[in-house]
Chain A
Amino acid sequence: MKRILIATLGSVLIATAPAVAAAQTNPVELIGDVKVDKVVVENGKEKHVLVEPGVVVPGDALLFTTTYRNAGATPIKDFVVTNPLPDAVQLAPQGADQLVVSVDGGKTFGKLTTRRVTGSDGAPRAAVEADVTHIRWVLPVLAPGASGALSYHAIVR
């Protein structure tokens, strides 16, 4: 009962479509993944464990991770990863203050504490996790072979 579809589209294209991509093999790999963040009680202590998404219902916590790697021979610069939040989730409070986010559909970015939105009463108010539409990570340089993972916690609305 696996409901995660890890499409290996990117790598398949590179491997099987040399005629199209011959001119430029993309030197950067981005691989997405998702896990369910479950709280289990073990010896009376709460513990977070990451499991493959089996059953997912509203209120469940998810951890989305994007792994990057510079597979090329030259340094990559101005590496900007943008991740629109799926409509059905909202950003979780966990780690949200560390992220650079947008609350206006990706037009402007900044720390969540600096963002403001128009409330339902028409008056501006401080943005909250549920207002976040995009997350962005900026890495100035990726040396050849450098890799890492970017992740955010979300809650199924």
Chain B
Amino acid sequence: MKNQIALRAASGTVAFVSACMVVLPGTAHASGVAAGTLIQNTASATYTSGSASGTVSSNTVTVKVDELLDVAVAGLTSTPAVAGSSNVVLIYSVTNTGNGPEAFDIAVNAAVAGNDFDAVVQQVVIDSNGNGTYDPGIDTVLATGSPTPAIAPDAALAVFVIVSLPGTAADGDTSQVQLTATSTTGSGTPGTVFAGQGDGGGDAVVGSSTATQSDNDALIASLASVALTKAASIVDPFGGSQPVPGAVVTYTLTATVSGTGQADSLHITDVIPAGTAYQAGTLTLDSAALSDAADTDAGEASPSGIDVNLGTVAGGSTKTVKFNVKIN
């Protein structure tokens, strides 16, 4: 009598921490007058000379305001994003704290010192519709090496980094992912001048932020593992427990899900052993009867085998399936 047992489970799933609206700061003119602005100063005078009065104006002196290159980056995923088997969205904001429209190069580093694991970066996406929420298929994927569109002075752009867990991640492991935004005009020591490259025709000057800034978002692996045990008890026609023809065997399949995550699409299936016959109407899940038909309840049984669909099972729970066969 040979039994076969099969278990299908996709372990872990995403408990997605996203739907929170991102409120991006927007203070007016925090970054100063716009690059390219002309500062023009003219003095005028009135006077009397003898009985006549006169007026005179000075020449106009003009100073063009150059472009200040400054940026601020903030990781907006304040509590670690919970990562299971699906992708996780990490949210960052990139604020142009300079005084001219500026595009920024985005670099994502998943190998931050101290990580338990390094997340796998799937995509970098910009919040093209500006609602602060990742909209797959609507928001624009940033091709590798492509900068953001120009961001207006004082404006912020939300950037989504889509990551997944590597195979090496274990339940409860944590990791950080760093996003760096760098002005496409240039970066470096504050005061560095890029002659003629400023918005509005002037120069571009690196500000106190060095025109490149980084921040981290964190994620935590939430995984589940499934253990399955099978036990058999026999009641023979003579009141004993011998596997003789006519004896009824009760199989007990116990699925134990552990970990902080959950098991998705968990099925318990089993094949009716050769030389035995399934006893109709004996399939149970956690002591509740399941019909043999393939219908709305979780289980189905036939002379060839049983299949119980447990669906999503949270870590820390146990599911027990029983059925009877009679030895021919």
Which of A's residues lie within 8 Å of B, judged by CB? 1, 3-10, 24, 26-34, 53-59, 62, 64, 66, 68, 72, 74-86, 88-89, 142, 150, 156-157
Chain B residues with CB under 8 Å of A157's CB are 29, 32-33
Interface with A: B115-123, B202-210, B245-253, which one? B202-210
Looking across the interface, which residue of chain A has its beta carbon closest to that of B206?
A57
Of residues 44 to 71 in B, which have CB atoms within 8 Å of A's CB atoms? 44-50, 54, 56-68
Number of contact residues on B: which range applies?
A: 35 or more
User: What is the CA–CA distance of A157 and B95 in the complex, to the nearest angstrom?
Assistant: 19
Tell me the smallest distance from the CB of B89 to a CB of chain A, in Å.
35
B143 contacts partner chain A, Cβ-Cβ < 8 Å: no
| Choice from B46, B57, B63, B66 contacting A80 with Cβ under 8 Å | B46
Chain B residues with CB under 8 Å of A53's CB are 63
The answer on a CB contact under 8 Å between A82 and B44 is: yes
| Choice from A10, A33, A88 contacting B39 with Cβ under 8 Å | A88
User: What is the CA–CA distance of A84 and B60 in the complex, to the nearest angstrom?
Assistant: 12
The answer on a CB contact under 8 Å between B59 and A58 is: no
Chain B residues with CB under 8 Å of A4's CB are 61-63
The answer on a CB contact under 8 Å between B43 and A150 is: yes
User: What is the CA–CA distance of A157 and B48 in the complex, to the nearest angstrom?
Assistant: 36
The answer on a CB contact under 8 Å between A32 and B59 is: yes
The answer on a CB contact under 8 Å between A80 and B47 is: yes
Looking across the interface, which residue of chain B has its beta carbon closest to that of A64?
B41
B40 contacts partner chain A, Cβ-Cβ < 8 Å: yes
Question: What 11 additional pairs, Cβ within 8 angstroms, besides A32-B61, A88-B38?
Answer: A1-B195, A27-B49, A30-B45, A56-B65, A57-B65, A57-B66, A68-B45, A82-B44, A82-B45, A82-B46, A88-B39
Chain A residues with CB under 8 Å of B202's CB are 3, 55-56
The answer on a CB contact under 8 Å between A30 and B49 is: no
B37 contacts partner chain A, Cβ-Cβ < 8 Å: yes
The answer on a CB contact under 8 Å between B44 and A76 is: no
User: What is the CA–CA distance of A76 and B45 in the complex, to the nearest angstrom?
Assistant: 11
User: What is the CA–CA distance of A66 and B43 in the complex, to the nearest angstrom?
Assistant: 7
Known: A4-B63, A79-B45, A88-B33. A66 touches B39 (CB 8 A): no
Tell me the smallest distance from the CB of A37 to a CB of chain B, in Å.
12
Chain A residues with CB under 8 Å of B57's CB are 10, 30
Tell me the smallest distance from the CB of B274 to a CB of chain A, in Å.
85
User: What is the CA–CA distance of A51 and B65 in the complex, to the nearest angstrom?
Assistant: 15
Tell me the smallest distance from the CB of B49 to a CB of chain A, in Å.
5
The answer on a CB contact under 8 Å between A58 and B49 is: no
User: What is the CA–CA distance of A150 and B62 in the complex, to the nearest angstrom?
Assistant: 17
User: What is the CA–CA distance of A31 and B61 in the complex, to the nearest angstrom?
Assistant: 9
The answer on a CB contact under 8 Å between B54 and A86 is: no
